[in-house]
Structure 1
Amino acid sequence: MDHVVTCFVRNRGEVLFTRRSDRAGTYSGRWAGVSGYVEEDNDEAEFDARRELREETGLGGASIRLLRIGETLTVEDEEGSFVVHPFLFESTTREVRPNEELAAVEWVDPTAMRDRETVPRLWETWRRVAPRVDDVRDDRTHGSTWISARALEVLRDAAVEADDWESVAGVGRDLRDARPSMAAVANRVNRVLATAERRPEAVSAAAVRALSDAYAANEGSSSTVVERLRDAGATGVATLSRSGTVAECLREFDPDSVLVAESRPEREGVGVAETVAEETAAAVTLTTEAALPAALADGDVAPDAVVVGADAVLPDGSVVNKTGTTGLALAAREAGVPVYVVAARDKIRSTGDERVATEASPAESVYDGEESIGVFAPTFERVPDRLVDGLATEDGLLDGDGARRVAAEHAEHAAWDRRNDE
């Protein structure tokens, strides 16, 4: 029995769909991911997956990142017997150079594969690497922009497979409650379930649209802060932790210098610094939260502005973000440096919802010794609105009244479950 790889490459919520040419050995004319034979060790199929991506599409190196290896499945039909190894990659680009084995390539929503003539069991192969509710609940690496997009994918896929509204609503409730600190997750799920007709196919279609809107909103909020920085003549920016929207802002703004706090205790700021150094021409300096006041006063690395993301914006204008943000904002205020929070409107919480979730980093990430020592390591904290100079959204810079209007809109969408019980 032959072993083969099937690679799904995702960008902005869509996957690369390929139609196999007459030069392909099997399933000519059918749609698939990026596929090929495992030529060496079946337990080391990742090597073959990356080789096929390079050979068939030109994708490789820093432009793609492996996210998941799925459980294998067996396909047997008149074309042969195959053990399929599923892979999911994230790509930073849509530029593809197809070789002679591919007759066509498209970037499409994964649900499109259910309506086309594909290689056998392609949808099942996708589901073995697709996002799940547990991914939304347990992810401690990515920011709320990324995680809320994954939540919409989970809702979309659940709806396309569902036979009734209530099963879709059950998944929606699980997603809505999965990350209480991240307003965008609940707001985006709530909007889909509040505005779509109560039919699974309507929810799936609405989730696809919401996913596209979410990426557009993140780009819009990034552009808002970039315009503000350019108007102010800023050349240096400070940030901390991991935020996909801030990363987009830095790529678009391309500052002369970037100061990044490493973000204790998980130190995801180190990866941010490496990414900025790789993707921009900025001089990048990595520091610790404890050294931020000194760094903001040092003439060699001091920034003109602080730009941070947000896991949530509360109705009173305060911001929930990774622990360390308050220290950075206080140091910036002391140094006379403005602080901008870049956040799509969906990160504003519903009216009256002013909780700060108590998610905590693992105690051993701070202390793993043998003494009886307590550890206080909250993942998120509340930053007072008085320390924030501007909330940059896709609708421009919002003041307190604007944030409260958005919060009221989110509260209306959140009522979908209560209406369901009436």
Structure 2
Amino acid sequence: MPHVVTVFLRNGGRVLLARRSEAVGTYQGRWAGVSGYVEGDPDDAERDARRELDEELGVREADADLVRAGAPVSVADEGREWTVHPFLFDARSRDADPSEELAAVEWVHPTAIRDRETVPGLWTAYRRVAPAVETVADDETHGSAWISLRALEVLRDAAAEADSRDAVASVARRLRDARPSMAAVENRVNRVMADSETDPESVRRRAEGAIDTAAKADDSAAARAAELVRERGFDRIATLSRSGTVLAALEAAEASALVSESRPGGEGVGVAERLARRGVSVTLTTDAALPGLVAGGGADAVLLGADSVLASGDVVNKAGSLPVALAAARADVPVLAVCARDKVRGDDRFVGESAGALYDGKAAIGTENPLFEVVPADLVSGVVTESGVLDADGIGAVAAEHAALAAWDD
């Protein structure tokens, strides 16, 4: 039985679908992912997936990150049988150079697969790599902007398959409650449900629109922050953790970066590597050293992500943010939080998360290892969003809007 790869290339919540041309031997004119035969060991099919991305779209390894390899799908159609190995990659852009094997390509919501004439088993293959509630609940690597987009994708896909709004609402509640510290997850799920009618199709349409809007909001917040850095002439920016919005701002800001490793996950190392690959001058340091470096004049500004901005203006971010903000205040260095408006909570509730045990020995030792902490509003120079820098009144107005969204589940 032949083995093939099917690659779903994702950017901003949409995936690339390709219509097969007359140059291919099977399923001409049908829509598919990027596909091709496995030429080596099926257990190492990622090599074939990356080869097909390069050959059919000109997408090289540096242009796309592997998100997930799904369980193989057995397909039988018109006397033919084969095994599909599905893959999901995140593309850094929507640039593509289709080969002659592809008659057309489109960036669409994956739910479009259900309405098109596709190769057999395409929706099943997609669902093997699609995000799930567990993706949202268990992710310890990405920032809340990325995670909230995944939550909307889960809600969209669930609505496409659901036969009642109650079924969709059940998924929405699980998503809303999966990451209580991340306001964007709750606000974005609440908005879809609050704006939808009673049928799953309405939820699907609203979720698709919310995904597109959220992706643009995160990009716009990053662009605003980069513009502010350039306007104020900041030459060296300090940061910690892995905020995708801050990362995008640093890539565009034309400033050097001082990045802490961000224990326990070490996601700051990946941030430093990404910036270095983009030609940014970057220095990696330890979490413990970062406050001292900032206090000693090692940075012109501090950019923080925000897992939440409380209605009071306090910023919730990765543990380690508070000592950096205190050091910045001592050195008269501005601290800017960068995030989409959807990260503003409708209240002042702070729900912490633990990063795991610090000690597994036999002594009677208690541990505290919080993943997030609160940076008081008086230590934050501004909250940079897609609509500009929010002051206390602006944060309060957004908080009131978000508080009203939760009424869908009353």
TM-score of the two chains, using structure 1 as the length reference? 0.94
Q: Which residue of 2 aligns with 1:314?
A: 310
Paired position in structure 1 for 2:129: 129
1:373, distance to aligned residue in structure 2 (A): 3.4
Match in the other structure for 1:335? 331
- What are the equivalent positions in structure 2 for 1:12-411 lying under 5 Å apart? 12-78=12-78, 80-255=80-255, 257-279=256-278, 281-298=279-296, 302-350=298-346, 353-363=347-357, 366-367=358-359, 369=361, 371-411=363-403
Contact 1:20 1:101 in 2 (8 A): yes
CA distance in 2, matches of 1:401, 1:167: 38
The answer as to whether partners of 2:295 and 2:330 remain within 8 angstroms in 1 is no
Q: Which amino acid in structure 1 is aligned with residue 253 of structure 2?
A: F
- SS state at 1:290 partner: coil
2:302 and 2:44 map into 1 onto residues whose CA distance is 44
Alpha-carbon distance between aligned partners in 1 of 2:169 and 2:359, rounded to the nearest angstrom: 41
Shift of 1:358: 2.6
Match of 1:5 in 2: 5
Contact 2:50–2:61 (CA<8 Å) still a contact in 1?
no
Q: Distance in 1 between matches of 2:198 and 2:387?
A: 30
1:73, 1:266 → 2: CA distance? 33
Question: Which amino acid is the alignment partner of residue 21 of structure 1?
Answer: S
Shift of 1:3: 1.1
* Structure 2 residue 406 is the aligned partner of structure 1 residue 414: yes
- CA separation in 2, counterparts of 1:57 and 1:368? 49
SS in structure 2 of the partner of residue 266 of structure 1: coil
Whether the 8 Å CA contact 1:265–1:377 is kept in 2: the answer is no
Counting aligned pairs with the same residue, the percent is 58
Residue 129 of structure 2 aligns to a residue whose secondary structure is: coil
> Residue by residue, what CA displacement relative to the aligned partner does 1:341-390 show, whole Å, maximum 9, x if unpaired?
0111100001xx32322311121xx4455554332110000111110000
* Paired residues, number: 410
**Runs of 4+, deviation exceeding 6 Å:** none
Give structure 1 stretches of 5+ with no counterpart.
none
- For the residues of structure 1 that align with 2:283 and 2:217, how far apart are their CA atoms? 29
Would the aligned equivalents of 1:223 and 1:249 in 2 still touch at CA under 8 Å?
yes
Q: Describe the superposition over 1:128-151 as per-residue Cα deviations: whole angstroms up to 9, x where unpaired.
A: 110000100110110000000000
Contact 1:66 1:90 in 2 (8 A): yes
CA distance in 2, matches of 1:368, 1:22: 62
44-53 vs 172-181, greater mean Cα deviation:
44-53
* Structure 1 position 219, deviation (Å): 1.9
- Aligned partner of residue 288 in structure 2, secondary structure: helix
- The question of whether the paired residues in 1 share the 8 Å contact of 2:65 and 2:89 is answered with yes
State whether residues 114 and 123 of structure 1, in contact with CA within 8 Å, keep that contact through their aligned partners in structure 2. yes
After superposition, the C-alpha distances for 1:182-207 in whole angstroms (9 at most, x for unaligned) are 00000000000001112111110110
The code of the aligned residue for 1:117 comes to E
What is the CA deviation profile of residues 29-76 of structure 1, one whole-angstrom value per residue up to 9, with x for unaligned ones? 100001111122122222211121111111121111111111111111
Offset, 1:27: 0.8
Return the TM-score normalized by structure 2: 0.97
Instruction: Check whether the contact 1:27–1:79 (CA below 8 A) recurs between aligned residues.
Output: no
Amino acid at match of 1:278: R
Unaligned runs of 5+ in 2: none
- String of CA shifts for 1:63-114, please: whole Å, max 9, x gaps: 1111111111111112621111111111112221222211111111111111
- Structure 2 distance, partners of 1:54, 1:208, is 28
Q: Secondary structure at the match of 1:105?
A: strand
CA distance in 2, matches of 1:137, 1:379: 14
**Aligned alpha-carbon RMSD (Å):** 1.4
Letter in 2 for 1:275: R
* Secondary structure in 1 matching 2:152: helix
- Distance apart, 1:289 and its partner CA: 2.3
